[in-house]
Amino acid sequence: MQFPSQFKKPVKNQKKGRDKRPASITRFLGSFGTGLLIFFLLITVYSFVTGNGKDDKPTVSLSELSGDVSSGAVTAIEVDGDTLNLTYRDGTEKISKKETDNAITTSLVNYGVKAEAISAVKILVKEPSGVAYWLFNLAPFFLPLIFIIAIIWFLSRQVRGAGMQAFTFGQSKARITMPEDKKQKVTFKDVAGAKEAKQELMEIVDFLKNPKKFLDVGAVIPKGILLMGAPGTGKTLLARAVAGEAGVAFFSISGSEFVEMFVGVGASRVRDLFKVAKQAAPAIIFVDEIDAVGRSRGVGVGGGNDEREQTLNQILTEMDGFEPNEKVIVMAATNRPDVLDPALLRPGRFDRRVTIDLPDRADREEILKIHARKKPFAEDVNLLVVAERTPGFSGADLYSLMNEGAILAARESRTKVSQYDLIRAIEKVMLGPERKSHILSQQEKKITAYHEAGHAIVSSVLDYADPVHKISIISRGRAAGYVLHLPLEDRKLQSKKEFLDDIAVSLGGYVTERMMFGDITTGPSNDLQVSTALARDMVTKYGMSDNMGPVALEGEGGRVLFGRGVGDGEYSEMIAAQIDAEVKAIMTTGMNRAETTIKTHKKLLDAIATRLIETETIEREEFEQILIANGVTPKKKKDIEHLV
């Protein structure tokens, strides 16, 4: 239906006009109006109570009254505050006002009334009535006060309404998982590997399930458990699993969520969180990434942060305030235990520390199996092989590997994930996606091929370098090409000889470019950064430099360990210069070794580079054939013999 425009217009405009004013202001004015209304109401009541309201009796002035008293017309005067109720001889009643400071008799005398005339009048002073009297005296003080309180109340309601949450920002933001929540439930079965960690945590589960058993023998239960481990090793997952196993409420919050714009909010969040958790006991409070609030106080970049310190102090206070039989356990996770404030690690706080390592080969296979549960696999899938090829992968990496594998299969419209998908997924997770659109020019391709061949030769020839697993000049992520290595076994310790060979391998690309093309590209920049950092660590951390001797000049993962002293990275200029000289010496030696190696295998270099330009990728079998054809024996493959 079509409305005539003149009907529509005014209505529309009117509405627009009103709508233009933001809702909050409209509401504010509304409540302000209500406030004023109440104010006037109060004033009316006030004036009524204090008796400003006139009766219908006639009023006479003091001088008139004096005359009437002198003439004997007045029989009685009743004094009620300042009001005089007059009774006349003829029975009429009138009203007058007396001077506030003077007694009525004084006033009459001042008006020249004779003493005898006054004594003929019955004067009665009335006691002021209780309520009225008090209201009358106190109202001047209280009314403004009431008015101010009313305004504040309205304003605060206004602010809250406007969504500023000025009065609620202290409440904790923790996410809660209740034990009844079957969907989100995680148990130890969902966590593969990490056997020691699980064993430690089993004790906590036991306590939460059956606290009486422990309390009866006077055992003190740990209040705080700190999970430490590299990112993605399953710290968060384990904490959830403890709650799931014990069947208790799980409060989870991240350290960074405590730190807000307003100072003091973090502390009040902590207070709130602990209060709620105690009500829900037995419960677990999980503070993820606790290093965000728990860094050493008073040190570090940017000086102290009041907010962080307050939050940390509040956490410590709450933990100290636990009753011995409180069934609340605080768990925290960090991948930077080295920067934590020592106060956090004191007995009675996070005194239980559980380290979670990167998974070894067997654990990796277990983790892969867990994430393989819901995926349809082709027969050729061998998770053991995948586990072999993924040293250094965390649980989270393996999870995304499985996922990438499934995505690859789906993209190629297959209903089952094959081994080939998983193998490709390894590289994708390790190096980022292939950049097929990133086409190299003929010259770039040649340079990259020689560069990668250089790496491959050095690592095939030097004794302690890892054997080559694959070479490619298809660019991935930031790399133009890459050489994949496969360590012969999972290693926990690394030696100086291995480091020196690693550095030589890293410089293999650089050396080859210079040798072949008489020029250096930006290609080796990452190689240089990585190897220089390694050389520096050898000198300053591991005591692997003969000239510097067995000293650690820097702590693990940065500067500060516990307070000041050795290991805080504050050494003299002289030492700094020595370090630089040592690093340079190590790098130069590495470069010379790489150069010698490549020069003696020049024919091999050409063969690999040529093949790479042709096919872009060389897998291990083919690579080893090229090695043998050029008189180099491939490395012994110990326990990876049976693979592929």
Binding residues vs ligand ADP (CB under 6 A): 191-194, 229, 231-237, 333, 367, 370, 395-396, 399
Three-class DSSP labels, 371-421: HHCCCCECCCCCHHHHHHCCCCCCHHHHHHHHHHHHHHHHHCCCCCECHHH
The Cβ of residue 354 has, within 10 Å, a number of other Cβ atoms equal to 21
Least CB distance to Mg ion at residue 223 (A): 21
Both structure tokens of 86 = 């007059």
- Candidates 234, 509, 567, 590; binder of Zn ion (CB under 5 A) is 509
Report which of 50, 52, 63, 140 is spatially closest to residue 107, judged by C-alpha positions. 63
Least CB distance to ligand ADP at residue 251 (A): 16
Least CB distance to Mg ion at residue 295 (A): 17
Total number of residues that touch Zn ion (CB under 5 A): 2
In the bound state with Zn ion, the residue whose beta carbon lies nearer, of 366 and 452, is 452
In the bound state with Mg ion, the residue whose beta carbon lies nearer, of 236 and 512, is 236
In the bound state with ligand ADP, the residue whose beta carbon lies nearer, of 343 and 396, is 396
In the bound state with ligand ADP, the residue whose beta carbon lies nearer, of 107 and 177, is 177
**Looking at 53-61, 234-242, 315-323, 537-545, which segment touches Mg ion (CB under 5 A)?**
234-242
Q: Rounded to whole angstroms, how far apart are CA atoms 508 and 450?
A: 10
Question: Which residue of the set 200, 452, 595, 624 is catalytic?
Answer: 452
Q: Which of ligand ADP, Mg ion, Zn ion, none interacts with 509 (beta carbon under 5 to 8 A by kind)?
A: Zn ion
Three-class DSSP labels, 310-379: HHHHHHHHHHHCCCCCCCEEEEEEECCHHHECHHHHCCCCCCEEEEECCCCHHHHHHHHHHHHCCCCECC
Q: Please return the burial class of 191, using the count of CB atoms within 10 Å of its CB with bins 0-12, 13-18 and 19+.
A: buried
Total number of residues that touch Mg ion (CB under 5 A): 1
In the bound state with ligand ADP, the residue whose beta carbon lies nearer, of 233 and 311, is 233
Q: Which of Mg ion, ligand ADP, Zn ion, none interacts with 191 (beta carbon under 5 to 8 A by kind)?
A: ligand ADP
Both structure tokens of 38 = 């109440």
Least CB distance to Mg ion at residue 399 (A): 13
Q: Residues 6 or more apart from 34 whose CB is under 8 A from it?
A: 154
Q: Is 452 one of the annotated active-site residues of the chain?
A: yes
Q: Which of Mg ion, Zn ion, ligand ADP, none interacts with 527 (beta carbon under 5 to 8 A by kind)?
A: Zn ion
What is the SS3 assignment for 513?
Answer: helix
According to CB under 5 A, which residues from 459 to 478 bind Zn ion? Answer: none
Q: Which of Mg ion, Zn ion, ligand ADP, none interacts with 194 (beta carbon under 5 to 8 A by kind)?
A: ligand ADP
Least CB distance to Mg ion at residue 254 (A): 8
How far does Cα 233 stand from its chain's mean position? 19
- Candidates 31, 107, 177, 236; binder of Mg ion (CB under 5 A) is 236
590 interacts with Zn ion by CB under 5 A: no
Q: Rounded to whole angstroms, how far apart are CA atoms 310 and 320?
A: 15
Report which of 321, 340, 208 is spatially closest to residue 271, judged by C-alpha positions. 321
Least CB distance to ligand ADP at residue 198 (A): 9
Q: Please return the burial class of 201, using the count of CB atoms within 10 Å of its CB with bins 0-12, 13-18 and 19+.
A: buried
Least CB distance to Mg ion at residue 396 (A): 9
- Candidates 527, 554, 595, 624; binder of Zn ion (CB under 5 A) is 527
What proportions of the chain, in percent to the nearest 5, are helix, strand and coil?
Answer: 50, 15, 35
Q: Rounded to whole angstroms, how far apart are CA atoms 153 and 170?
A: 20
**Binding footprint of Zn ion on the chain (CB under 5 A):** 509, 527
**Binding footprint of Mg ion on the chain (CB under 5 A):** 236
- Tell me which residues are annotated as active site: 452
